[in-house]
Every structure is written in C-alpha cells, then in structure tokens.
Structure 1
C-alpha cells in the first residue's frame, strides 16, 4: 500500500477529543456525560449532508471525514468537539497502515 502524503498545515482545526463518562444519578439511573481526553489538531472534510423531520422539527445531519495523528486510545462512542459543534465518531481507520494518521468517519447533527 502506498503511503499517504498529507501537508501538516491542513490540520488547522483545534478539537477536543471526548470520552463518554456516565455518572450515577443517585436514583438507579445514569446521567450521560463526556470528559475531555485531550486537545488535538485535525483536518475536517465535509462529505455529505441530509435532513429529516423529527417531532415536527427539521434536523440536518452532516457527515465528515476527520483526519488526526495516530492514537491508540481512540474507541467507539468517543466524539470530537469544536466549540458548540459535536462530531460523533462512527468508525475510524489507518488509511495507509503506517501508524501515522487516523481517518474518522463522523456525523454532526444540528437544528
């Protein structure tokens, strides 16, 4: 497989990587929250968009390809945050199997 060449200057988005952090609500339930793992630089590429109606409200979904430097602690259920924008990680892969980058397939929902 041929190694991918990526200009590091294209990683211009500063993101927070967050891990799910569930906390007991004291009544037998769980409050879902997220805690920051680290801040990192990334390249965000919009891929597609769509919209649907949920409960009389239009909701749009945008899929993104987010490139980051390789990490071995990325897991399903994690997400990226950029300000108020949240990118849920759906899948990730090492695009050229060299251990230099990860490409994350993410979705962003908005109203």
Structure 2
C-alpha cells in the first residue's frame, strides 16, 4: 500500500485517551483526555448497523490515515472539531512505520441528528 502524500493529510485530529475514574458508587466513569494533534486523511467506508434498545442504529464507518505513531489502539478515539471517531482497529499497513491506518466508527451524540 502506498504512503499518501503529505498534502493529502489536511484534516486535523486530536488523539483522545480514556481515563477511568471511580463514580463513588462502586462503578467507574470514563472520560477522555485530549492528547497530541495529528494530521490525517479520512475516507468514508459505509455504515454498520447495530441493534440496541429495540431499534437498529446505523453508524458511519471511515478509514483514517495518519503518520505512524506507537500506542494508538482501541479504546482511544479521534476527534475532528465536533465529530468523534471510536478507533476499532489501528495498524501499520506495510510494516514500514510510515503510515497508521485506523478503522473508525463515527460516534453520534444522543441529542443531535445522525449524520447522513
């Protein structure tokens, strides 16, 4: 797989890492802490459908190509402005440590309209 030219990585992403904190009732709460700023390219792949709560939810899936960096894995996520992407899979496509391909699922806030 060929490396994409630097100019193709126009979108700015923030890598967010999860932090688990006790909720005071014996459980835990997950929040995300913003990490490094990364430049990448995003390609839509389609949508997945999940059943839950008596209805089917469609979620957009994408592939995000970044410059290679160690330690990127689920359950981290990427954000681009108001959009959030849960990382489902991250890997080096050719083993040369130049690119990092992330298969992601776009997260939609419960109060907002789903993206087409």
Q: TM over 0.5, yes or no? A: yes
Equivalent pairs counted in the alignment come to: 109
Equivalent position of 1:21 in the other structure: 19
Segments of 4+ in structure 1 off by > 6 A? none
The alignment's TM-score, normalised by the length of structure 2, stands at: 0.82
- Residue 11 of structure 1 is matched in structure 2 by 9
For 1:100, which of 98, 103, 109 is the aligned residue? 98
With structure 1 as the length reference, what TM-score do the two structures score? Answer: 0.85
Let me know the Cα RMSD of the aligned residues: 1.9
Unaligned stretches of 5+ residues in structure 1: none
Alpha-carbon separation, structure 2, partners of 1:19 and 1:79: 7
Deviations 1:39-89 (A, max 9, x none): 111110101124566546663311111001111121221100112211111
Which ranges of structure 2 fall in alignment gaps of 5 or more residues?
109-113
What is the match of residue 80 of structure 2? 82
Name the SS for the 2:3 alignment partner. coil
- 3-state SS of the aligned residue for 1:22? strand
Q: RCO greater where, 1 or 2, for CA within 8 Å and sep 6 or more? A: 1
Q: CA deviation at 1:33?
A: 0.6
